[in-house]
Every structure is written in C-alpha cells, then in structure tokens.
Amino acid sequence: MEKLKVIDLFCGIGGFSYGFNMTGQFDVVLGADIWDVALNTFKNNHKNTKLLNEDLTKLSDDYWKKYKNKVDVIIAGPPCQGFSMIGPRNKEDKRNTLFEEVVRVTKLTVPKVVIIENVVGLLSMTTVEGKNIKDIIYEEFQNLGYTVKHKVLNAANYGVPQQRKRVIFIITKENFNIEFPKPKLQENDYVTVGQALGNVDPCGDEYFSPSCDYQELMAGRKDICNHIRRSSSELVTKRMSFIPQGGNWKDIPKELGSGGGTFSNAYKRLDPNKPSVTIKHAAKAMIIHPTENRILTVRECARLQSFDDDFVLTGNTSDQHQQLANAVPPLLGKAIAEEIYKGLKKQECKN
C-alpha cells in the first residue's frame, strides 16, 4: 500500500501532520494556514510539504480542483477561540464558521477521510440563529455523502503528558470504517510532568541521559533549542514561591494580589507526579515549573505537547508559546493516523 496523501488545513506548526508522519504511512502534501510565523515553523520541520499561506475563504474553487481524487485524507483544526469555554464565546465571531472551508475543500477534492479537531466547547456552541455547530457539521458532510461521528478524546490516554480533551470528528466515505483510537494508557499509567521534563536541565542548556521510555521517545538533538528561561518581576516571583506543586493562584497570600487569576489553571504550578494541565500560552496563563519559580520554557511546553527534541520553533518567545498552545499533540495525531491507515488498508484488502 502506497503512502496515503494528506492535506492539513489550518495546520499551524503541523502537530497533526507530525503525528501522521510518525507512522511512516502518510505523505502530507500540503499545509495551509495564514499565520506566517507558524508556517515558518512548519516549513522547518516538514521540509517535503508544500505550504499555502492564504485566507482559505478567499481562495477560489479552482485551486482545489487539482487535488480532486488525489488526496486520501484531510485533517483540520479550525481556529477554536470562538468556541473556548474560557473566552467570550461570541456567536458572531467569524472564526466559528471556518469549518465551512473544510466542507468546501472536501466537496472539491473528495477524500476518503476527513478529521476535524477542536475544543470540547464546540459541542455546546450555537449560531446566532440558535443552531448547534455540531449539527451543522453533521448535516453538511452527510449532504456530501459522508458518514460522521464524533468523540471527546483525552491526549493523556495516548501517551501525551497532558490532560488535554478535544473533540474529534471522523468523517468518512460510506464504504470506509475508521474507528476512534482505543486508549493506550489508563489514568494510573499516564506519562507525568516529571517523566516528561526529567532529563531537561531546568537551569542550564543540556539534556541528561534519558531515564524512562518517554524521554527516549523525545530524544533527538543534544543541544537544547527554545529553552530560554523568562525572568519575572520580584512581585510575580514572590507570588510563585507560595504556590505548592499542583496549586494555583488561590495559594497566593491576599496581600500579594491574585495576579489576575480567576481560572483554576492560572498561576498553576505543575505536579511532577501527574500529567500537565492543558497547555495554553504559558506566559499568559502563568503555567509554573514544578520546582523553579518561573513559567515553563518553550522547550518544556513542547515536551508536554509530545513534540520531540528535533522539533524547533521559530519566531519570538511569545509566538512560540502561542504556536504550541494552538497545536495538536503529535502523539494524539499519531494514534488517529494509525486507525485511519488500519481502516483504509482493510478496505483495500476487501477490494
């Protein structure tokens, strides 16, 4: 069976693509996004993939027609800010309708499988007219002759050292059966923050010898990239000093202020014996190192997102944190990709 062709829409830095590539069974032929910095990171880490830096809503149908019946899989992570439970959930946010571009590209290219990833908040989001976004996704793909199903997956079940729940839509032509990946790990087996970061020097710029399977999996280049430690103000550092492992802004003495924390993961010091909280922009969310009074570095966030040490991010430090916050964890992508390959191969054998 030849490598299966993939298009990655709203690709960002290509975490989804990276996971598909890890299987050795897929060829990502195109990555499309509109954020220059993220595309530059994508380019550096997916050297054989063509990039499209365009607003998809302004791209004509003619562009996609050349891919008709030449692509097996479309993967897509449309912007989720409008659906997020910690945002304003504005029903008029234009980003809420960008999944329509996935529908349009599907109609024009006719892939066997489409995968959409998004925050769980999408499931309860409605349009201005009161129609559920989830129901629209079902209806529009079914109108194209596809079967649709969805499920909430937790990245921690697939070897990612992070509690990150996302809704996954599996959309298939009716003669293909693709299953959701079964959990590889249960809660008592989750990869922990301590295992993920254990061989990353918290104060220097070297990797120690791997001491567990996850560290072996992440191993690559010996020099640490994207590991600049950010100094905070004296007040912020003092606030951090009062937060125990697993604690948050509520542990800060009242006389020092809350630092703007209102959500449970604000000023969150990670517990080395548990998976991380969901990785957001570490500087804005104030995600604190388990033992150091500082926010996580970009490299530490990359480890917690399951990007290996060969994956290098570009742009300024704030951009790098945002790129990781937006990304699909590669190990979650890999688990989904394995099921797609299994399902398509089974159908090929039947034919």
Cβ atoms of 281 and 230 closer than 8 Å: no
Q: Which residues pair with 51 in a beta bridge?
A: 31
Mean pLDDT across 202-221: 94
Annotation says 301 is catalytic: no
CATH of domain 4-186+328-350: 3.40.50.150
Angle made by CA atoms 70, 15, 261, in degrees to the nearest 5: 145
For the cut 50, the answer to whether the pLDDT of residue 83 exceeds it is: no
165-199 pLDDT per residue, tens: 999 999 999 788 999 999 999 999 999 999 999 99
- Return d(Cα 237, Cα 221) in angstroms, integer: 31
Mean pLDDT across 97-112: 94
- Which one, of 262, 311, 316, lies nearest residue 286 by Cα? 262
- Return d(Cα 15, Cα 8) in angstroms, integer: 10
For residue 294, which phi and psi values (nearest 5 degrees)?
A: -160, 160
For residue 285, which phi and psi values (nearest 5 degrees)?
A: -85, -15
Cβ atoms of 81 and 121 closer than 8 Å: no
Cβ atoms of 241 and 293 closer than 8 Å: yes
Q: What pLDDT, on a 0 to 100 scale, did the predictor assign at position 266?
A: 85
Q: What 3-state class would DSSP assign to 112? A: coil
116-136 pLDDT per residue, tens: 999 998 998 888 788 899 999
243-291 pLDDT per residue, tens: 999 999 999 999 998 777 667 788 999 999 999 999 999 999 999 999 9
Angle made by CA atoms 45, 49, 55, in degrees to the nearest 5: 100
Query: Within 10 A of 192 (CB to CB), how many other CB atoms are there?
Result: 20
The radius of gyration computed from the CA coordinates of the chain, to the nearest angstrom, equals 20
Helices (H), the chain: 15-22, 36-45, 61-65, 99-109, 133-143, 193-197, 213-218, 234-241, 282-285, 298-304, 317-326, 330-350
Each domain of the chain, given as residue ranges in start order, spans 4-186+328-350, 187-321
Which token pair is 150?
A: 């969805």
CATH class for the domain made up of 187-321: alpha beta
Which token pair is 259?
A: 């630092």
For the cut 50, the answer to whether the pLDDT of residue 86 exceeds it is: no
Catalytic residue among 11, 80, 212, 301: 80
pLDDT band at 81 (very low <50, low <70, confident <90, very high): low
- Which one, of 161, 149, 77, lies nearest residue 119 by Cα? 77
Q: How many CA atoms lie within 13 A of 139 on its CB side?
A: 6
Cβ atoms of 44 and 37 closer than 8 Å: no
26-63 pLDDT per residue, tens: 999 999 999 999 999 999 999 999 999 999 999 999 99
Q: Is the overall model pTM greater than 0.85, yes or no?
A: yes
For the cut 60, the answer to whether the pLDDT of residue 84 exceeds it is: no
Q: What pLDDT, on a 0 to 100 scale, did the predictor assign at position 2?
A: 87
pLDDT band at 350 (very low <50, low <70, confident <90, very high): low
